[in-house]
């Protein structure tokens, strides 16, 4: 079992990863998704790796028809609760993106908040990318927000220490190979002294490589931006926003 298949991991780390600021930005991100993909009322969206439904719920609030897919039942349960709390209809599917295939094709498929590159093998990563690409209908849009090799280099830090969700968080980062991956170690120390450690490697892909892969997987156009506002992907890029059009 790979680490991202563990419910215990998400139960322990979700409050750290998805803090108040991440929830506050969700409506803005959802608005950008709708604009980038040119979506209208009733347009269909697949949120691949929806997690807690942070973005899915906001997209439904924008009158879009949203389906969220995730591997972790606890995350899907939380997404359902969040949708119910906002009184919006969100469809949810438990599935592994490495094997997920759907007969329904969507106007837009999204994969956000650096949710790509964690599989043990390159082939599994590419399988996920192709499955997401295949879910997009002709004329549709694919949007990925992810750390790239370039942004990992620009913003590299050896680690930091901070408090969040009532625990002390200590992080450390090292480079794998020739910037082929980023090894991360996160240590959580609770007020009672209990310590939880987790270490993982994210495979790093260049923006140009992923653009070329989208073209290989059936998109007619693939562009990369430095943020959701279409700012350039250059030395000032905040992140990598990959946009594929079929």
Mean pLDDT, range 66-94, rounded to an integer: 95
Block residue for tokens 């794998």: 176
Sort strands 159-164 and 195-203 into parallel, antiparallel or unpaired.
unpaired
Contact by Cβ (8 Å): 85, 78: no
Residue 90's CB is within 10 A of a number of other CB atoms, namely: 23
DSSP state of 149: H
Is the overall model pTM greater than 0.75, yes or no? Answer: yes
**From the DSSP assignment, how many helices (H) and strands (E) are in the chain?**
7, 11
pLDDT at 5 over 80: no
Mean pLDDT, range 126-139, rounded to an integer: 98
Tell me what pLDDT residue 3 has. Answer: 59
What are the phi and psi torsion angles at 155 (to 5°)? -110, 20
3-state secondary structure of 64: coil
């Amino acid at each position: 079992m790979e680490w991202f298949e563990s419910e215990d991991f998400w139960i322990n780390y979700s409050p750290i990863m998805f803090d108040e600021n991440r929830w506050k930005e969700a409506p803005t991100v959802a608005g950008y998704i709708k604009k980038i993909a040119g979506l209208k009322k009733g347009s269909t969206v697949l949120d691949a790796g929806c997690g807690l439904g942070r973005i899915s719920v906001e997209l439904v609030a924008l009158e879009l028809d949203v389906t969220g897919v995730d591997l972790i039942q606890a995350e899907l349960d939380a997404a359902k609760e969040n949708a119910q709390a906002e009184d919006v209809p969100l469809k949810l599917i438990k599935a592994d993106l490495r094997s997920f295939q759907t007969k329904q094709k969507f106007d837009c498929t999204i994969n956000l908040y650096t949710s790509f590159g964690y599989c043990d093998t390159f082939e599994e990563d590419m399988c996920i990318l192709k499955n997401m690409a295949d879910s997009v209908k002709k004329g549709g849009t694919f949007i990925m927000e992810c750390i790239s090799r370039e942004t990992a280099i620009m913003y590299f830090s050896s680690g930091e220490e901070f408090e969040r969700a009532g625990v002390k968080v200590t992080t450390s980062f090292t480079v794998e190979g020739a910037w082929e991956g980023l090894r991360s170690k996160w240590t959580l120390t609770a007020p009672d002294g209990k310590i939880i450690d987790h270490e993982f490697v994210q495979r790093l892909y260049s923006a140009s490589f992923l653009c070329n892969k989208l073209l290989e997987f059936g998109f007619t156009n693939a562009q990369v931006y430095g943020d959701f506002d279409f700012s350039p992907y250059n030395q000032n890029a905040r992140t990598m926003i990959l946009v594929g059009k079929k």
